[in-house]
Structure 1
Amino acid sequence: MKRGYRYRIYPNKEQCSLLEQHFGGTRFIYNRSLFIKNLMYSKFKINISEIDLNNNLTSLKELHPWMKDLNSQSLQQANRNLLTGFKNFFEGNGAYPTRKSKKDNIFSFQVPQNYQINLTSSKIYLPKIGWIKIVFHRDFLDKEFIENKLVTKEVNGELILDQKLNRKLDILKTLTVSRTSAGRYHVSILIDDHIPEPIPVEFNENTTVGIDVGIKSFAILSSGEVIENPKFLKKSLMKLKKLQKAVSRKQKGSKNRKKAIAKLAKQHQLISNQRNDFQHKISMKIISENQAIGIENLNVKGMVKNHNLAQAISDVGWSEFIRKLTYKAEWYGKTILQIGRFEVSSKLCNFCGYKKDDLTLDIREWKCPSCKTLHDRDINASLNIKQIALNNLSTAGTAGRAC
């Protein structure tokens, strides 16, 4: 099973400069290869392969000597990422690849091989950059696994895990270096422990929970539990406005403006970290307590077009929460039962099945005209989601149909 482990690193000034060169260099190669690929196909109907793009790197290094200071494998990985983007596009799994820009605030490059991890002094070695301090806030592999499965070496009494020595085992995969808009550097280590995914555990109506996500409340479970929406963005709006005004008052290009931008970016980073931490805790709690989870397939991209609710929907982070639920369910052998976005959940009475077509968004409680049951809108929706998910499963006959 493959898992990624993300850790923060603390490079010095010289290493920061080298990291920025790698960010710019891989972006340059990506854009250059995209231009060549588009030009050759539009003019001559020639499909450029990865080998052709990598062979072009030699001539580019002669034209741009600064590229010789960069890790060649990271540059080749940029070409591989471009071709993966084209493959995803033609398979219908993504948009057509476009140019990368500094303004996108997406800074990353990959190191496929030859990195080392000092397990004693908590440092990581990146080719062409050197040893960088890293904080291991959690273990990416058990100590017993490292001792029994991996090859380590001892240098000056320090235990070092070398990816090159473990290449045949194919456990230490690609390492990704990234920088946030707030100027924080991270590395993400992809590990494949070759342990198969657990067999999905059996579930029934009692061990299944339906989840209705909302804005007023973050999530409402069919068990009756209501998880309140922390509204991290809304609580920080006044501070964000103040910091944004400070940026606007500073002269463009000045050092004070750069300082103000950095403060604003740190506040946005704080909000993102708060939301991410909250969603991790809630998703882990739900996965631990239930064997199957019923959720809706929401069209979040279409919903944010409503300008009255766009900020609140973006703040709650439905898509990311569902993504966390999905991959954690795979880790622990749980089942995700997803229902269609056009299934009726809020307007349907979970007792008698009466459909209330005139139910508007502002009505939070309603009484069923047929069975006279008083419904809380959100709890009723979560119960319907659970029932519809289980009905779809029994109709299809297999768990794979519902996942």
Structure 2
Amino acid sequence: MQSYKFRLQPNKEQRKKLDNMFGCSRFVWNYFLDLNNKIYLEAKEKDLKKKHLNYYDCANKLTGLKKENEWLKEANSQALQQTLKDLDAAYNRFFQKKSGFPKFKSKKNNQSFRVPQFFELKGNHSCFPKFKEGIKTVVHRKVEGNIRYATIIKTKTNKYFVSITNDFEVKKKRISNNSVGLDLGIKDLVVASDGQKYNLKINEDNIKFLHKQISKKKKGSKNRKKAILKLAKRYEKIDNQKQDFQHKLSDKICKENKLIAIEDLNITGMLKNHCLAKSMSNQSWYSFTTKIEYKSKRYGGEVVKTKRFYPSSKTCNHCGYINQALELKDREWECPKCKTILDRDINASKNILSQVLRELNLKGEGSTRLKPAELSSIDEAVKQEATRSLVYW
């Protein structure tokens, strides 16, 4: 599948209709989430098997809810049904322990609703139920394949977008068959086994200042709303820089490597460390690994994860000695056994690659992924110690 994101330019009347649609979708989500929460708590107390209403239960109740709240009929009925499907999927992920408990939606956050059917892109206009006349759209790329669904989005900065997902399968040409190990970090986003370090430097000095400006404004005043919008725009710019950097870096790595070895990190568990949570969250590891995984498939490559809790930083990549005394503050360390001076992150990335190759060979799959010539090129890459930083302003 391929996704396209375009800016929408609705007129005043269309903005009002879109805001009503966002409100209806948010109301349906919150109403049935509250209902499901009560059922879940009751089931927990009485040890009942049914812990929440599934999509079909909620869809049956939605008809009655529309009769009680006539204004819900102004919204696209399929979009409201899709909201119920999304809520059901969120509950299923929670029960499968793949994500946290579903949360209530606020109009202060980004707003969205999905159009599962009858979305068309006619020239530079997006057409879907309730908007047959079309909303002016800035189409800057050719859309290939058949459209499966579209998501209409409103950001905190009052910008409107459409995200179109189609069934077009993207295939790109890889320029080499190298292999690389990647260590994700806090100081540097990515450190590769060939010695290269990639980091994104963003100036966040004015964030605290903008927060202080908001605290000085009177609640409910126009000046406070302006200050909040200014802060939202700054956060949006930072997020855009991060996404741009990650897309370019992930594309570069996937284009140059057939096999990409990464750690199977327990990101949710690591974020519980309050001392490092903000730094880890700022690096957006999950977002980056997701990009690496789907882009590698486009280039005909593969991403393989090491076993969780493998001591990649503590293991010497030269002799295999495990330094149990190594602490997080130690950026360089000397191996007590072979006396090699090791850069913590480069050492970890080399170990990640070596460990993945060992695991593949044990499974008898190493030869299907890498040719002998490619394996020898890895050995040469592992010996490199040169470090280069990629800085993005």
* TM superposition score normalised by structure 1: 0.81
CA distance in 2 between counterparts of 1:25 and 1:285 reads 42
CA distance in 2 between counterparts of 1:112 and 1:291 reads 35
Match for residue 79 of structure 2?
74
CA distance in 2 between counterparts of 1:360 and 1:45 reads 46
Is 1:133 paired with 2:136? yes
RMSD (CA atoms): 2.7
Deviations 1:241-297 (A, max 9, x none): 221122111111111111111001000000000011001100000000000111112
CA distance in 1 between counterparts of 2:269 and 2:49 reads 36
Cα 1:384/1:7, change in 2 over 3 Å: same
Would you say the 8 A contact 2:316–2:322 is kept in 1?
yes
Match for residue 196 of structure 2?
225
Structure 1, unaligned stretches of length 5 or more?
146-170
1:357 to 324, 341, 355: 324
Is 1:264 paired with 2:231? yes
AA at the equivalent of 2:135:
I
Cα 1:32/1:304, change in 2 over 3 Å: closer
Would you say the 8 A contact 1:231–1:316 is kept in 2?
no
CA distance in 1 between counterparts of 2:319 and 2:39 reads 63
CA distance in 2 between counterparts of 1:37 and 1:372 reads 60
Residue-pair matches, total: 359
Deviations 1:1-57 (A, max 9, x none): x22222221212221211111111012112223344566785998775544433433
Match for residue 292 of structure 2?
325
Cα 1:364/1:82, change in 2 over 3 Å: closer
AA at the equivalent of 1:186:
F
Q: Structure 1 residue 91: deviation in Å?
A: 3.5
Is 1:335 paired with 2:314? no
CA distance in 2 between counterparts of 1:287 and 1:365 reads 28
SS in 2 for 1:217: coil
CA distance in 2 between counterparts of 1:313 and 1:383 reads 22
The 10-residue stretch of structure 1 (275-284 or 49-58) with the greater mean CA deviation from structure 2: 49-58
Counterparts of 1:1-400 in structure 2 under 5 Å? 2-37=1-36, 42=42, 48=53, 50-103=55-108, 105-119=109-123, 122-129=124-131, 130-141=133-144, 171-193=146-168, 195=169, 207-227=178-198, 229-232=199-202, 235-236=203-204, 238-398=205-365
AA at the equivalent of 2:130:
K
* TM superposition score normalised by structure 2: 0.83
Cα 1:99/1:316, change in 2 over 3 Å: closer
Question: Runs of 4+ in structure 1 displaced over 6 angstroms?
Answer: 43-47, 197-201
Cα 1:7/1:255, change in 2 over 3 Å: same
CA distance in 2 between counterparts of 1:108 and 1:303 reads 29
| Larger RCO (alpha carbons 8 Å, 6+ apart) | 2
